[in-house]
């Protein structure tokens, strides 16, 4: 039993953290139109992580992608990485994968009637067929993640298959990245903000809220990495692990942001402070696809057996 990342994977995490901190700093203008740096991601090899080397990828696996999902969310990256790598990739054939790895195609998929990033991707997967990305795009709680209603034209069949567990594990890893950042912002504020002559972190009403967030984040991380490993290995527990991870980690991310806003006081409630951007991303992650209550119903079916309805 070994539950840790390899030195190479840890190095990838470190490099991703550093590159994203420079390219997507926290003091950037979040209200300016988003720039998805797609060519740079291709250059970094992040778009072909699990694409085979003879298809122009790096031939690694989902664990490396899981690391990137977490780090991209930690930096609140705005582009359609989740759409392309998390939702669409398992459906694609060799030619499409080659185009993805080369940074020549952005993809998304229809999930419960909605297509995230519909206005900014090239193609969309619906039930095993590819469609041109056309239709009305609607703003959501997270401005960097609009949802669209696809106008179905003529579909082209795709050779791959659906991988719900993979998409959910990816979202769980994103949630861990968001929760971790919200926790760190809260800690930083509690260390430096002084009231009554002391940093507010000395007050247990403040510090204990952050300790609780830390506990939530670590539990969420364990579930997200477990799910990611199950997906990477094709383990038989992948479905239940991913459902558990998405339910727990997205709720943990929402709570982490809410506690962090409270710890920040009035500052945390301002438009100027970046915290609300993380909060909105967390709400999006919780609500996209199956919500926690639906996921728990799936977990219940798995561990209790399906309910017999009268």
Partner 1 sequence: MDLRDTPDEAAFRAELRGWLEASLPEEKRGWRGGSQRFDDAFGREWSRKLFEGGYAGLTWPKEYGGAGAPYSYQAIFLEEMARAQAPPHVGVIGLGMAGPTIMVHGTEEQKQAHLAKILSAEEIWCQGFSEPDAGSDLAAVRTRMERRGDVFVVNGQKVWSSFAHIADWCIIVGLGDPDAPKYKGLTYMMIDMRSPGVEVRPLRQITGEAEFNEIFFTDVEVPASNLLGEEGQGWQVAMTTLLHERGTLGFALTAALEVAVNKLLDLARERVNGDELARGRVAQEWIELQALRYTNYRALTTYQRTGIPGPEGSVAKLRWSEQNQRLTKLGRELLGPEGLLDDGWWHYQQLRSRGNTIEAGTSEVLRNIIAERVLDLPRSR
- Cβ neighbours of residue 54 under 8 Å, at least 6 residues apart? none
Pattern 135-174, partner 1, x by CB under 8 A: ----------------------------------------
Q: Does 248 bind partner 1 (CB under 8 A)?
A: yes
Run of H or E including 219: helix 204-233
Minimum CB separation of residue 218 from partner 1 in Å reads 5
Burial class (CB in 10 A: 0-12, 13-18, 19+), 207: middle
Among 92, 170, 185, 220, binds partner 1 (CB under 8 A): 220
Count the site residues for partner 1 by CB under 8 A: 49
Question: Pairing state of beta strands 123-126 and 107-109?
Answer: parallel
Angle between helices 275-287 and 164-192 (to 10 degrees): 160
Q: Does 8 bind partner 1 (CB under 8 A)?
A: no
Pattern 87-126, partner 1, x by CB under 8 A: ----------------------------------------
The radius of gyration computed from the CA coordinates of the chain, to the nearest angstrom, equals 20
Instruction: Give me the sheet containing 115-116, strands edge to edge.
Output: 115-116, 147-150, 135-138
Q: Kindly tell me which of 203 and 269 has the beta carbon lying closer to partner 1.
A: 203
Looking at the DSSP assignment, which residues form a beta bridge with residue 198? 195
Pattern 43-82, partner 1, x by CB under 8 A: --------------------x-------------------
Looking at the DSSP assignment, which residues form a beta bridge with residue 115? 148
Pattern 190-209, partner 1, x by CB under 8 A: xx------xx-xxxx--xx-
Please give the full DSSP string across 150-213, using - where no structure is assigned.
Answer: E-----EE-SS---HHHHHHHHHHHHHHHHHHHHHHHHHHHHH-EETTEEGGGSHHHHHHHHHH
Minimum CB separation of residue 296 from partner 1 in Å reads 4
Among 153, 159, 219, 265, binds partner 1 (CB under 8 A): 219
Which residues lie near partner 1 (CB under 8 A)?
1-6, 9, 63, 187, 190-191, 198-199, 201-204, 207-208, 210-212, 214-215, 218-223, 225-226, 229, 241, 244, 247-248, 293, 296-297, 299-300, 303-305, 307-310
């Amino acid at each position: 039993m070994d539950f840790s990342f390899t030195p190479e994977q840890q190095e990838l995490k470190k490099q991703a953290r550093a590159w994203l901190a420079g390219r997507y700093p926290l003091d950037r203008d979040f209200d300016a139109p988003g720039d998805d740096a797609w060519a740079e991601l291709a250059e970094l090899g992040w778009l072909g992580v699990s694409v085979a080397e003879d298809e122009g990828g790096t031939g690694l696996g989902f664990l490396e992608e899981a690391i990137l999902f977490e780090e991209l969310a930690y930096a609140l990256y705005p582009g359609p990485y989740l759409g392309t790598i998390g939702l669409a990739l398992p459906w694609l054939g060799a030619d499409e994968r080659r185009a993805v790895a080369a940074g020549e195609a952005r993809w998304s998929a229809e999930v419960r009637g909605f297509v995230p990033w519909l206005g900014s991707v090239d193609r969309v997967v619906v039930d095993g067929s590819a469609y041109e990305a056309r239709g009305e795009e609607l703003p959501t709680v997270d401005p960097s993640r609009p949802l669209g209603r696809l106008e179905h034209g003529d579909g082209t069949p795709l050779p791959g298959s659906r991988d719900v567990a993979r998409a959910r594990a990816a979202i769980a890893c994103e949630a861990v990245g968001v929760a971790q950042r919200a926790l760190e912002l809260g800690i930083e504020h509690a260390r430096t903000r002084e009231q009554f002559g002391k940093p507010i972190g000395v007050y247990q009403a403040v510090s204990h809220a952050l300790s609780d967030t830390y506990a939530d984040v670590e539990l969420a991380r364990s579930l997200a990495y477990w799910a990611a490993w199950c997906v990477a290995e094709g383990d038989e527990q992948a479905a239940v692990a991913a459902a558990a991870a998405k339910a727990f980690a997205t709720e943990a991310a929402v709570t982490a942001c809410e506690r962090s806003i409270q710890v920040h006081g009035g500052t945390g409630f301002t438009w100027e402070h970046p915290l609300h951007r993380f909060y909105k991303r967390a709400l999006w992650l919780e609500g996209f696809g199956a919500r926690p209550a639906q996921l728990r119903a799936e977990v219940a079916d798995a561990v209790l057996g399906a309910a017999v309805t009268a």
